[in-house]
Amino acid sequence: MTATTAEAFAPLANITEPKWWTGTPAISPDRFVIDGNEYRSNGAPLTPSSALAQRMQQTFDDVGLVHVVNTGLDDLQAMRLIATQVLKNERQYEGGANPRKTIEKNVFEVGAPLEAWLHYHHEMAYIGSSTKMVSFMAHKMPSEGGHTFVSDNCQATDALLATPFGQKLKKLGLCYHRNLTDRDAFVDRLDIGVYNHWQQSMLTEDQDEAVAVAQSRGLEVEWGAGRLLKTRFYISAFEYFPHLDRNLLYSSMADDSTWFDTWPLVQHLPADERPLKLTFGDGSEMTDEEKQLFIKIYDDYGIPIAWEVGDIALICNYRFAHGRPAVHLKEGEQRELGVLIGESFDRVETLDDKW
């Protein structure tokens, strides 16, 4: 690689790196970690049981987070049988932003390069049909690092609403801007500047069908030059959560150009040329200070999930955001999390008397 090419792929200097947590978990692991050894017979791998299902469901209902450890499992379908004791209505991945691929039946990959950090986010917050929960299953893990982090969204919501920025979000809402490239325009070309093609995101090769899929998700759609699919989605930054009978924060900087600060082949692009952008609902821009506060709010209530192979986590998409730092593998190592997408729900936004 020449020096000129290397400079072209260098990340922008003005980036805000998430801190992920304060060093103390916002919720004690005692409340959500379940030791699989308590439900295994004679050291055999963990299998579904009514006792385990009851414990997992009660923990999920109480906390919104379950982390099952010491399972003795290394097969994704065996882990899926444990996860689906709580995540009962699996959803196909449709109209998503990340280019996820299927690992096994109903099990998806994370869909992001390991060297990129992934800001805290709520799964599918950028479309009208979101998901109630997600599950991660640790299939392959490096010897060091590779943690996922979750952030307690109840505490984050209270902290954000106590700021002028939080009140501004409450008043103006958000607009999600997304530009999806045409795969046919990149045949035999290095995917410079590509995040996701509309064919992969919308799971179709037909333009009219792609528009129909996008519109079914509540997106406004238009075609740009080079068959660039441009979508816009206007919605509240918050979402009513029936289980707690209150409005909770349901947005983050993951849907802004900052998502790509460490994303290979995209990080070199100026912010206005990146595939995602987040503005207030009236189209006005967020300041750098507001963006930094949005990131910090989640960092302040972070909790690490330190994976071992066989671990299974279930995360309530209302009560927690999730993300991870960059992962750096040693030679011969891999990191693979299987992802299950939970039951869908249609966004209702907020209720006036539930703040």
Dihedral angle sign, alpha carbons of residues 135, 140, 142, 143: positive
Domain spans, the chain: 30-345
**Measured distance CA(113)–CA(105) in Å, rounded:** 22
3-state secondary structure of 191: coil
Confidence of residue 121 (pLDDT cuts 50, 70, 90): very high
3-state secondary structure of 314: strand
* Over residues 220-231, mean pLDDT: 92
pLDDT for res 137: 96
Q: Where are the alpha helices (DSSP H) in 174-258?
A: 198-202, 207-216
Whether the per-residue pLDDT at 5 is higher than 80: the answer is no
pLDDT for res 60: 98
pLDDT for res 91: 66
pLDDT for res 191: 56
pLDDT digits (tens, 9 = 90+) for 129-146: 899 999 999 999 999 999
pLDDT for res 163: 98
Domain covering 30-345 in this structure, CATH number:
3.60.130.10
Confidence of residue 272 (pLDDT cuts 50, 70, 90): confident
* Over residues 7-13, mean pLDDT: 43
Provide, rounded to the nearest whole percent, the portion of the chain with pLDDT above 90: 69
Whether the per-residue pLDDT at 26 is higher than 90: the answer is yes
Tokens of 88: 């009962």
Confidence of residue 269 (pLDDT cuts 50, 70, 90): confident
From the list 52, 141, 98, 38, the residue with the least C-alpha distance to 341 is 98
pLDDT for res 99: 46
Tokens of 275: 């595939």
Q: Which residues contact 225 (CB under 8 A, 6 or more apart)?
A: none
| Strand 228-235, strand 246-249: pairing | unpaired
pLDDT digits (tens, 9 = 90+) for 69-95: 999 999 999 999 999 999 998 766 554
pLDDT, greater one: 271 or 104: 271
Whether the per-residue pLDDT at 97 is higher than 60: the answer is no
